[in-house]
Structure 1
Amino acid sequence: MKKLFFTFILLIATNAFSQSYPFKITGKINSEKEKTPINAATIHLEKVKDSSVISYTISNDKGHFSLEGKSFHKNLKLFVSYVGMDTYSKPISLEKKTSFNLGTINLSEESNILNEVIIKSRAPITIKKDTLEFNVKSFKTKKDANVEDLLKKLPGVEVDEEGKITVNGKPVNKILVNGKPFFGNDPSITTKNLTKDIIEKVQVMDTKSKSEAFSGEKGDEDNKTINLTIKKENNKGWFGRISAATGTDKRYEGATMVNRFDNDQRFSVLASTNNINSPGFSFGEIQKMFGGGNNWISSNGSFNINGRSFGGGSGIIKSKTTGATYADKYGKGLDVNANYFYSGSTSKDASKNNREYTLPDRKYFTNSTSNTNNENHNHSVSTEFDIEIDSTFLINIQPSFVFNKRNGSNNRQEESLDDTNILTNSYNSNSYAESEANNFSNTIDITKKIGAKGSFIKASITNKVDKSSTEEVNKSTIETFGSDATIENRDQKSTISDNLNGFNTRISYRLPLVSKKLFLDTKYSFQRNERENKENTYDLNNTSLQYTDFNIAQSSDFTYNDITKTPALELIYKTKKWRFNFETGFVNRTLENDDKLRPNLSLSKKFNNLDLDAGFRYRFNSKASVYFSYRLNNNAPQLRQIQPFEDVTNPSNIIKGNPNLKPSQNHRMYVNFNKYNWQARTGMFFYVSGTLYNNQIISNTSISDKFIRNSTYENNNGGYDVWGGGSYSKKVKLDSITSLRLKLGSNISAYKNFNINNGVKEGARTLGLRPNIGLTLDWNKIISIETRYDISFSKTKYDINTNQNQNFTRHSLRFRTKTTFPKKLEWRNDVKYTYNPNLIGFNKSAWFWNATLAYSVLKDQGTISLKAYDLLNQNTNAQRRATSNYIEDSQSTVLQQYFLLGFSWKFNSLGKKGKIRDFNRHF
């Protein structure tokens, strides 16, 4: 079989090379008026026959370019374009020669507006200051591709199996449609539900708030935003999809989404339900709702996006989601965006954990199991109003409301054994809780630009109100064994209320020192959070059989204030290539706790610290840039860490705060370098991030002979963490229909953490390395084969107990295939093998195979699909991790094998007569 496969691949490659014509075109791009080189001009080659893009490149900072490749066609046409300049074109014939030196090409300023439109529509890539723009027509995908399929084709853009997007190694945390949020900036809802057909341009830029974009401030350079521009002819009409599926083991899935676009007005609704751990539209809808592709969910099956919980719970999950989004523009200066979401779930989970603890003089072991059932209902409403008074004055208002209702039960058993495996204590608990929570927040940003030199003044006000209430019943038993055996039974009911009132305001003024280059920002921020917590715990009265005996040891009643005042100055210098900033702030923080139940535990703490923030970015040219940042942060202890209250909720692990704690100080540095060579189709990025901790807050635990733990907190120096990684990718076009892509990457980590056990401080240093290699073959949109191999090495060394040093290794091998032959049939396979040789008590290896067959009907508007999940029935989530004082092996409930038969129907009235038009321009 292997020989047949490689023979097939060789025949494809040989056939491709035998029919193609190689070419190499070089030259230099100059401005006709200034006689200076043009950096980042786009040079692309088209077929004369149908205007399909063959290849493209970008000129360097000296104006030079080199365009190489192969083509099946001899008659081609070269185009050179740059924003604000007339396009240049030249016929190219490969019949007699294949190498062309065009010398210097002078571009003149654009002669009319129409010509600019032509340039924009034809150039595959355009670079506009800090924005990278891709022409969708120039990148081929399958006919029914969604935005996620399109993004995977763009140079420098990566989309992983969970739908997370990165651009040159930086994550994309926001996707806009025509500059506006779509379902609350949730990237995956946008990428999986909008089709490529309606998109004209894809723009990539640093993430910025509305106020930052308006004032010209730097954005979040660690994250990227993608803006999708809709074709004008496709910006009016209806489109959407309806899907349903049922399968074995009573598995089911259903989803629908309906969209109405009318120029500036946009309205969409969605709904979904399933019991296959799919949270719905974000990770749940794959390819054609579920008619293609495969889903990879973490073991707990839940996630959170922009504060909204999807899926919820862990283990086996039944979930349902409904939502609506609305956007419109009223008059000249008012933009409105509103979103509503409901997400509900029920979940069941059973987990198992085995730990090996290392003490200065001995070892001990704990084994625990738990069974959890949860039900969760979450409603959220968010709105945004942009009020542009004039070109210099913007007001942005963002109110939101969240209501959550949850109930759940938990059954837990835990036992401790000494180093000879003799049982020393056991703990059993059964609990049930019901809770409700309400959250309201509102942010008002006011920005006023002053003059033409970049000066502005801006103010921001945020208020937040959280209210929650919980009622819980807990029954537990802790038993110790041996000569002085003891047993303690608890049967209790607790009512808990937790309320937060928060207020945060910030004002800043930018003073230009050198016009549009050097600025001084003066800032002041004030934050006050007041939390009221009241917990009443009652023991069961054995006579009345009612919960009437007040338990003061497990009750609380306090008010906690956290007040921060921070004046700051920031110096900013920026040019076309350089950007440098340095900010220093003085942080005055006050923590106050008024304990009504235990007045002797009331406290007031004041902390004065210096915060620093510095960074610079340098763009070498249109292909490469480097970014560096340094931050000094001071973090005050949390209330539970400084409050000298003894928490005996878990009698086997008693915790007490330390009022003498100092703030922890973090020195963080980050370096990022990325480069994309448009000509060679190679891309690379590297990053290193490190944090050094001073006065880090760590646990100080005393463990009795019966392994009952009493813990508090201490400050510690010497902790650190370092994270880094890199990736190199190269795409080789064998011809206009066949390509190979190689990707090499690696992640590294090094960190040290500490714990104090029985008076002895133990440090653990962990080094991790995860290299990976991947290869993808694409042929004629019919066959796609992707392979990836990862191996993870982890090495932990202890400062004192060196005999406990650990080495872990984990292997992962993945194959993903896609075929679209015959034309209407799509077959996908996703096979993953994992091997964990260091696991103890769980399966060390497992194969995981998902497959999908999808057949198009009803003129490609309908799809019949058959989805097979975990064909080999070996799904597992067993894992091992090490800390400074224990090693843990764990495993929990995962979804088992099932098959789903489904049908999906799409509709689209965008464009003329509701047809989806194919411009037939591909790269």
Structure 2
Amino acid sequence: MPKYLILLLLFPLFSFSQTLTGTVKDSLGNPLQNANVIAKPLVEKQGLKFAIADHLGRYKLELEKDVPYEVRVSYLGFVEEILNLPANFSQKEHHFKLKENGQELKEITITYDYKPVVVKKDTLIYDVKAFANGNERKLKEQLEKLPGVEVDKNGGVTVQGKKVTKFLVENKSFFGGGTKLGVENIPADAVDKVEVIDNFNEVGFLKQVSDSEDLAMNIKLKEDKKKFIFGDVDAGAEVADNNGFYLGHAALFYYATKTNVSFIGDLNNIGKRTFSFQDMMRFQGGASSFISGRKQLTDLYSFASDNTDVIENKSQFSALNFRQEINSKLDVEGFAIFSKLFTSTLTESNIEYLQNTTATSEERINKGENKSILGIGNVKLNYTPNTKEKWFYNGQFQSSANDMTSVLNSRLDGQQTSFETLNSADNVQIKQFLEWHKQVNSKHTTTLVINQSYDNQKPINTWLTDTEFLTGLIPLENDSFYNIQQVKKVKNSSVDALFKHYWIINNYNHLYTNVGNNLGTTQLQITEKQYLTDGTINDFATDGFGNDMDYLLNDLYLGLEYKFKIGKWVNKPAIYAHYYHLKTQQIAADYTLNNTFLQPSWLSEYEFNQSENLKFNYRLVNEYPEANRLLERYTLQSYNSVFRGNALLRNERFHNATLNYSKTSMYRGIMLFANASFTKKVRTIRNEIGLDGINQFTTPTITDNPETTYRVYGNIDKKIHKFRLGLNANLSWFNYVQTVNNQTIINDRNNQSIGIKLRTANKKWPSASVSYNKTFSQFSGLTNSKLTSDRFGFDLDIDFWKHFNFKTDYEVTFNENSNNIATDFRIANAYLSYQKKNNPFRFELSAQNYLNNGTKINNSFSDFMISSSTTYTLPRIVMLTISYKL
């Protein structure tokens, strides 16, 4: 690192500041939690200082020397108090005593020029201009300057340690409610205020009974942007080499009183994704939050998150979000998304297959190409006939197509085999739900929800090779070239309904009644055939392959939840009676299973104060196998794997308990979160595996062998002077029984990860951080294996020479496997940008992977194999990007 940069980072350690502490109480000595304490500098070019009193009324202000301040304290229903501090004051503490003003105020507003914060019971409203300097380009840069607000590199936002789960613009959901698209695309100069709403509920009268844990962020636009077209356009091209890398991006917004339209478009081949995994999960949703538990039927992961672990990547993305107010009672909103991806990958692997007495080693080189197209259309109707009734309708259509080609070269015992695999899959999904909420009176509220979904998939898999494979497991006929084709036809349909009644007996006792039914069906057909070079067809159906199944699972349930409060302690025990009906129809026979279960749960929460709580949750769950695990005939899975289901499988049963503790103290500068969970399966479905060299035969069985999982996670973040120190730990222990080649073995799979991070916490300083993470993994079963990983990271974000900004990040990872073989890889990126204030043009020179590291190394293990893989990545990319702000 350059010497001047080290001095720049260390200089603030020797800078001078002074701290004022104290309390805010009423005239009787009672602490006033969440009181605003704001220090306004009485000289120009100095920043505002801000603090919020904790549950004991304590506050702490870190003030600059040589600067006089006017400190104002405000609280709902109390007269504001002012303290004037001269420059270089010697006073270390001051205790405020506020007098009641005899008026019921709806909110607290700071009345001088700066209006940084408005505080309500569960809402913080930041006035952005009080904290930003005007050089910010995107909303993300503004949020990073708000006290208590953090934005991670993936676009996730936390406020005072709690993650934002709903993102709104002008009180309306923005592209499904994820944060990444909003914070990375909304121009900074359009933002007026940022509202943070805890315990957010879209239906206001449900807030008292719904136990919402959502934290919403609502972006209020400036008046001149509420009926205006704004946004920006980026264009970039490679300037150092001749690899043809490019980038195009547009974010355009039109906001009017009754009409909002937003468009985001992106075109690049540098591995950049426009929306995150969390956004993708929202887009894949289309179901009511009141009914959950349905497994997603399609995997859209490839469309989300940056991916540079490829040798070629082309991405096209466009998204349109709209809202139209039809009248005072009806809103229509929705979004449309189109994404097209092409990726090319290259991976080299060494795999050791573990058997009872021997081990088999395989070397692989796998080169693949994948083309994926995704289209999603979503529309939502929001109807409010009166203040005590709410209707929602949401309809979503989703279509995707995937075509993948891979060539695998496998070397085993000195013999090399080449496999070409062709995979294509077309998928269509239709999802919709209807919600009705009615507040009958102050004590009785009802909710009715109906979910419906339909999914139609047709994957086709083809294996091509000149070498006989899976000998003894599939009925191949001798040929000079082998062409095996598998066709699947899968139709899934579900209808879920819930009626819920909320009875508020009094302020300390609630009774909730639930009646519902979940119906799911699957129609599944699988054929496998060998196409011989002489034109004949070898149908595997005559040898036990090919499946034809109708599957139905119905869950009828009745539940009672009793919520009571004793002081600060809230409990909600519940008991649900479930009647399960499972029916399968296959070629050999039909199978029917009926079960009635009582499934208890208990939620308990103790709130020490508004910033500290302890929560415990327990539940007993019965889970039934999906259709593919019940297939009675053989199915080809890959070039070295065959699967056969078990039509007699029953439900798994497990106990799950979690304990969460969280504490946030702005006075002490601490954010603490800890979680402990325990899961024990008392009835388990686990695959039995037969290995012959690299060939695998797998079939599931139901057993009473217990499986236990323990997990402990903790994260603490502490402000020390003008830095933040973060520590985290993630520990897990998994114990289970596995059968391999008819030998039953007790397996232990354990992981431990610890990390430390130090970063600057002064808005005036460059943003910089250093981090270290250590990971250990152990496996005990057929063999004993262990892996270790050390990861060091550094990043810097600095403004200089008034119009320039420089960002860089560096990460190095060291891996070591069971054979004490060490590998390492390094990734580094840098960005230099220039933009004059109020100038629409911005210029950026970027260097992605500037160390030109071409590979990543990864070690892993499973129940019966240990592998080490080398993944080839995109090379160094040096680009010049020009941006224009509308």
TM-score, length basis structure 1: 0.85
Of 446, 469, 475, the residue aligned with 1:457 is 446
Distance 1:167 1:177 in 2: 17
Contact conserved, 1:215 with 1:449, CA < 8 A, in 2? no
Distance 2:756 2:315 in 1: 36
SS in 1 for 2:675: strand
2:468 corresponds in structure 1 to 478
SS in 1 for 2:550: strand
User: CA 1:233–1:307 in structure 2 vs 1: closer, same or farther (change >3 Å)?
Assistant: farther
The reply to whether residue 444 of structure 1 matches residue 438 of structure 2 is: no
Of 806, 813, 830, the residue aligned with 1:827 is 806
For residue 516 of structure 1, what is the amino acid of its counterpart?
N
User: CA 1:345–1:136 in structure 2 vs 1: closer, same or farther (change >3 Å)?
Assistant: same
1:396 CA drift (Å): 0.7
User: CA 1:715–1:548 in structure 2 vs 1: closer, same or farther (change >3 Å)?
Assistant: closer
For residue 467 of structure 1, what is the amino acid of its counterpart?
N
The reply to whether residue 367 of structure 1 matches residue 363 of structure 2 is: yes
The worse-fitting range, judged by mean Cα deviation, of 630-639 and 360-369 is 360-369
The reply to whether residue 686 of structure 1 matches residue 674 of structure 2 is: yes
Of 715, 718, 737, the residue aligned with 1:754 is 737
Residues 49-86 of structure 1, C-alpha deviations (whole Å, 9 max, x = no match) = 46966433333445x33434232354322222234555
For residue 530 of structure 1, what is the amino acid of its counterpart?
T
1:312 CA drift (Å): 9.3
1:585 corresponds in structure 2 to 576
1:333 corresponds in structure 2 to 329
Distance 1:480 1:444 in 2: 50
SS in 2 for 1:618: strand
The reply to whether residue 811 of structure 1 matches residue 801 of structure 2 is: no
Contact conserved, 1:480 with 1:487, CA < 8 A, in 2? no
Distance 2:602 2:278 in 1: 40
Distance 2:408 2:422 in 1: 12
User: CA 1:305–1:182 in structure 2 vs 1: closer, same or farther (change >3 Å)?
Assistant: farther
The worse-fitting range, judged by mean Cα deviation, of 724-733 and 456-465 is 724-733
SS in 1 for 2:99: strand
Distance 1:133 1:793 in 2: 43
SS in 2 for 1:190: helix
1:397 CA drift (Å): 0.7
1:743 CA drift (Å): 1.9
1:152 CA drift (Å): 3.4
1:383 CA drift (Å): 1.3
Residues 773-792 of structure 1, C-alpha deviations (whole Å, 9 max, x = no match) = 22223677463322111111
SS in 2 for 1:836: strand
Distance 2:447 2:681 in 1: 34
2:265 corresponds in structure 1 to 271
1:215 CA drift (Å): 5.4
Residues 190-228 of structure 1, C-alpha deviations (whole Å, 9 max, x = no match) = 01012344334434455656358645333453x643333
Distance 2:595 2:178 in 1: 38
Equivalent residue runs for 1:36-185 within 5 Å: 37-49=31-43, 54-62=48-56, 64-94=57-87, 97-102=90-95, 104-110=97-103, 116-118=108-110, 124=116, 128-140=120-132, 143-154=135-146, 156-167=148-159, 170-185=162-177
Residues 451-471 of structure 1, C-alpha deviations (whole Å, 9 max, x = no match) = 113x21110011112223344
User: CA 1:284–1:365 in structure 2 vs 1: closer, same or farther (change >3 Å)?
Assistant: same
User: CA 1:304–1:677 in structure 2 vs 1: closer, same or farther (change >3 Å)?
Assistant: farther
Equivalent residue runs for 1:788-867 within 5 Å: 788-798=771-781, 801=782, 804-838=783-817, 844-856=823-835, 859-867=838-846
The reply to whether residue 902 of structure 1 matches residue 881 of structure 2 is: yes
The worse-fitting range, judged by mean Cα deviation, of 560-569 and 207-216 is 207-216
For residue 901 of structure 1, what is the amino acid of its counterpart?
L
2:631 corresponds in structure 1 to 643
Runs of at least 5 residues in structure 2 that lack an aligned partner in the other structure: 280-297
- Comparing both chains, which one has the higher relative contact order based on Cα–Cα distances under 8 Å and sequence gaps of 6 or more? 1
1:227 corresponds in structure 2 to 218
Contact conserved, 1:524 with 1:568, CA < 8 A, in 2? yes
Residues 126-166 of structure 1, C-alpha deviations (whole Å, 9 max, x = no match) = 65444455443443467224232333344554433323334
Distance 1:569 1:284 in 2: 32
Distance 1:338 1:236 in 2: 19
CA RMSD after TM alignment: 3.5
For residue 202 of structure 1, what is the amino acid of its counterpart?
V
Identity of aligned residues (%): 18
1:724 CA drift (Å): 2.4
Residues 865-920 of structure 1, C-alpha deviations (whole Å, 9 max, x = no match) = 1111111112433211233333222233322222111111112xxxxxxxxxxxxx
1:723 CA drift (Å): 2.4
User: CA 1:428–1:562 in structure 2 vs 1: closer, same or farther (change >3 Å)?
Assistant: farther
Distance 2:376 2:112 in 1: 40
1:624 corresponds in structure 2 to 612
The reply to whether residue 613 of structure 1 matches residue 601 of structure 2 is: yes
Equivalent residue runs for 1:228-627 within 5 Å: 228-232=219-223, 234-247=225-238, 248=241, 249-280=243-274, 315=310, 316-414=312-410, 422=413, 428-453=418-443, 455-476=444-465, 477-479=467-469, 490-513=482-505, 515-540=506-531, 542-543=533-534, 545=535, 551=541, 553-574=544-565, 577-595=568-586, 598=587, 600-627=588-615
TM-score, length basis structure 2: 0.88
User: CA 1:103–1:536 in structure 2 vs 1: closer, same or farther (change >3 Å)?
Assistant: closer
For residue 56 of structure 1, what is the amino acid of its counterpart?
F
The reply to whether residue 741 of structure 1 matches residue 724 of structure 2 is: yes
Residues 67-116 of structure 1, C-alpha deviations (whole Å, 9 max, x = no match) = 34232354322222234555433433356642453452223244778x85
User: CA 1:142–1:795 in structure 2 vs 1: closer, same or farther (change >3 Å)?
Assistant: farther
For residue 42 of structure 2, what is the amino acid of its counterpart?
V
Q: How many residues align?
A: 858
Contact conserved, 2:469 with 2:639, CA < 8 A, in 1? no
User: CA 1:96–1:36 in structure 2 vs 1: closer, same or farther (change >3 Å)?
Assistant: closer
Distance 2:51 2:765 in 1: 26
1:910 corresponds in structure 2 to none
Contact conserved, 2:857 with 2:869, CA < 8 A, in 1? yes
For residue 174 of structure 1, what is the amino acid of its counterpart?
K
Residues 714-753 of structure 1, C-alpha deviations (whole Å, 9 max, x = no match) = 42533222222222223345xxxxx322222222222224
SS in 1 for 2:184: helix
Contact conserved, 1:835 with 1:844, CA < 8 A, in 2? yes
User: CA 1:449–1:310 in structure 2 vs 1: closer, same or farther (change >3 Å)?
Assistant: same
SS in 1 for 2:802: coil
Contact conserved, 1:409 with 1:433, CA < 8 A, in 2? yes
Contact conserved, 1:81 with 1:119, CA < 8 A, in 2? no
Residues 596-647 of structure 1, C-alpha deviations (whole Å, 9 max, x = no match) = xx2x143222233332332122222233222221222111122222332222
1:851 CA drift (Å): 1.0
The worse-fitting range, judged by mean Cα deviation, of 499-508 and 886-895 is 886-895
The worse-fitting range, judged by mean Cα deviation, of 82-91 and 612-621 is 82-91
Distance 1:409 1:258 in 2: 37
SS in 2 for 1:218: coil
User: CA 1:68–1:325 in structure 2 vs 1: closer, same or farther (change >3 Å)?
Assistant: closer
Residues 815-851 of structure 1, C-alpha deviations (whole Å, 9 max, x = no match) = 1122221121212111111111228799711221211
Contact conserved, 1:586 with 1:608, CA < 8 A, in 2? yes
Contact conserved, 2:568 with 2:608, CA < 8 A, in 1? yes
User: CA 1:167–1:633 in structure 2 vs 1: closer, same or farther (change >3 Å)?
Assistant: farther
Distance 1:763 1:120 in 2: 69
